[in-house]
Amino acid sequence: MFKSPLNKIALSLMLATGLTACSQSANTAKESAAQANTAVAATNVEQFERKAAKLTPYQQRDFRDEVFYFVLPDRFYNGDPSNDMGAAEHDTKRALSRGGLDVTHKGMYHGGDLAGLTKKLPYLDNMGITAIWLTPVLRNRAMQADTSGYHGYWILDFTEIDPHWGSNAELKNFIDQAHERNIKVYFDIITNHTADVIKYEQCHGKDGLGWLVEGDRCQFKDSNTPESERYKPLIPKGEEVVKVPAWLNDIDLYNNQGDSHWSGESSIKGDFAGLDDVDTTQQKVVDGMIDIYKNLITEFKPDGFRIDTVKHVDMSFWEQFSPALMDHAASLGINNFMMYGEAYSFEPELLSTFLTEGKMPSVLDFALQGSIEAVVVNQKGTSELTKLFAKDHLYKHEDGFNANHLVSFTGNHDMGRIAYRLKSSDFNYSESEMVERTLLAHALMYFSRGVPVIYYGDEQGFVGDGGDQDSRQNMMPSFVKTYNDDDLLATDKTTADDNFDTSHLFYQRFAEYAELYQAHIALRQGEQSILFSQDEPGLFAIKRAYQGEQGKQNLAVIFNTSTKSQSIKPTGMSENAKLIYQSAEGEKGQVAGLGFSVYQLD
C-alpha cells in the first residue's frame, strides 16, 4: 500500500518548530544566493532517480499518461549568464531583442535560460515530471513601455529563439536531453498577436513615437465605425521590417481597431493590451501561421503545443490550423503530438467548442480549476464538482478525444497560485491548514479525470501576492523585495534562497502523487463516474474504471474537504475494500480531514 511518509501529527510538529519565512538584508540575501548557487552547481546529479525512464517511451506514450510542469524559463535557473542581456550589443538585426535585465524588478528579465532548464532536468525527473511546458521562447521585443518580454509573449521573430534564453541549437539540445530522460517538451505558441510595432496616428502622432495624451489608450473602434473615423495605422521609422517572417510586416494583415475591452467584437479583433492583433480571417494569415508552426515542428521536433489566447481568434482559423498541425507532426513520425488551447473561461459550454468546432484536441480546464478553488478554498459543497463533471459529455471530439484529455491545473502565471487564493481567503487559514488544503487541491487535480500540471514553484511552497507578475517568482535566488517578503509554505526559506529543495514536503508529496498516478492506468485513462458528493464540505468520491489493452482496473478515490475525519460508508464503499493509498493516517474506513484515500475495487 502507498502511504504518505508525513502524517498530520508530523506535519503539525514541523510547522510548529519554525516553518515560517525569515527576512534577510539585501547583502545577506546576495551572499546566500551565491552560496546556494555554488552548492547546487556542485550537486552530483547521479543522486537523482531517472523516474521517467521507467515509463512507456515518449514516442509511444499516451497524452493522458503525462504529468506536466509549466515553467517560465526566465524565472527558473540561470545556466549561462553571458546571455542575460539578450542580443549582442553589435547585433543591429536583433537590436529590439536586447536589454531589459533588472533582477530587482518583477517585470524585467532575471536571467533564467534554456541552459538552466537543461541543468535542472534531474530535479524535474525526480519529481515524476514527464512533460515540460515552456512559456514562449521565440525572439521577443525586449522592452515595451516600462516592462520587458521576460514572459515570451511579445514575439517579433517566429523562426528563432530569443537570445535571452539561448539559441536554436540550445533549444534542440534541451529537447534532446529531455528526450534522453524520456521527458516530453511542449512549446507555448501564439497566433493571435505579435509584439507591439504598429501604432495609430490618432493615439501616437504621425511618427508613432509617443502618446498624444500620456497614458491614454487607443479605445476599440468596431466595424461600424465610419471610414473617416477609423484608426490610421503606421509603423515607426526603422521598424518597418523587424518582424519575421516578412509577411508579418504587412500592416494590412492586422485588424488595427484599437485595444480590446474583452467583450463583443473587440474580444476577437481588438489589440491584446496594445499587442498587434493579426487578422485571422484572412487566408494569407491562416496559411502563414500554419507554415510558421509546421516549420517549428520540422526543425525542433517538440511533442506538442499549448496555444495562447485561443478564444480571441476566429473559430474558422482553428478549424484549419489544428488539423494541419496534427497531420504535419504525424507525417514526421511524431504520432502522439498533442495540442491544447488556452481559453480563459470557467464555462464548459464555451471551452468545449474549441474541441467540437475548432477541432482542437484539448484545452486547459479552467472550469475544473474554478471548482477546485470553490471546494478547497471557499468551502463550497463537493456537489460543485459533481455539477462540473456532469458536463463532461460536451468535450467528445470526433477524433476520440474527450474530458480525460483536458489539461488540469490549480493556478497559473495569470491568475496566481492556489496558495495565494488560500492566503487571501476570508477564512483566515493558518499556515498548517494552507499546507493541507494546497495538497488536497493538487490531489484533486492529479486524480480526477484530466492531465495534471504543476505550476513551477508550487512544489517549493511559493505563494505570491496575486496574479501576473506577482505569481512569477524565481526558483533561483531572487532580489525582488515583493517576492522575498513572502511567507513560503512548509519551509523556512524565502525566494531569496535557492529553491530546488528535493526534501520539501510539497516536492516529496507531488513525487508521491506522480508515482501513484503512473502505477495505476485507471487514474490516468479510466472513465470517471461520481460515487458520492454533498452540498457541504465533506466527502467527494469518484470511480475510475479502465478496460482496454492493459486489462481491467477499477479504483475509487475518496476526497474529504472537511477538517474532520469522515466514514467512507456514505459513498457505498465497504470497509473491507482494499486500501492502496491514504494521504494521512486514519482509522479503518475513515478518510482523514483534508485528506484522500484510494481503494482497489476489484
Taking CB atoms within 8 Å and a gap of at least 24, the contacts of 573-579 are: 573/531, 573/541, 573/599, 577/601, 579/1
Whether the Cβ atoms of residue 601 and residue 558 lie closer than 8 Å to each other: no
Whether the Cβ atoms of residue 376 and residue 444 lie closer than 8 Å to each other: yes
Spatial CA neighbour of 364 closest among 326, 415, 399, 316: 415
Residues forming beta bridges with residue 581, ordered by sequence position: 2, 598
Phi then psi for 567, rounded to 5 degrees? -70, 145
Say how many residues make up the chain.
Answer: 602
Sheet harboring 304-307: ordered strands across?
362-363, 338-341, 304-307, 184-189, 131-134, 68-71, 451-455, 407-408
For 564, the grid coordinates are: 474532520
DSSP sequence for 261-327: -SSTTHHHHSBBTTBEEB-TTSHHHHHHHHHHHHHHHHHH--SEEEETTGGGS-HHHHHHHHHHHHH
Q: How far apart are CA 489 and CA 487, in angstroms?
A: 7
Q: How many other C-beta atoms can be found within 10 angstroms of the C-beta atom of residue 80? A: 17
Give the HSE-up count for residue 71: Cα atoms under 13 Å, Cβ half-sphere: 28
Whether the Cβ atoms of residue 21 and residue 423 lie closer than 8 Å to each other: no
- CA 164 distance to own-chain centroid: 21
Phi then psi for 479, rounded to 5 degrees? -120, 20
For 600, the grid coordinates are: 482497489
Which sequence positions are flagged as catalytic?
Answer: 308, 342
Whether the Cβ atoms of residue 123 and residue 502 lie closer than 8 Å to each other: yes
* C-alpha dist (Å) from residue 13 to 17, 183, 342, 373: 6, 36, 41, 27
Taking the CA atoms of 142, 115, 170 and 452 in sequence, report the sign of the dihedral they define: negative
Q: How far apart are CA 245 and CA 294, in angstroms?
A: 13
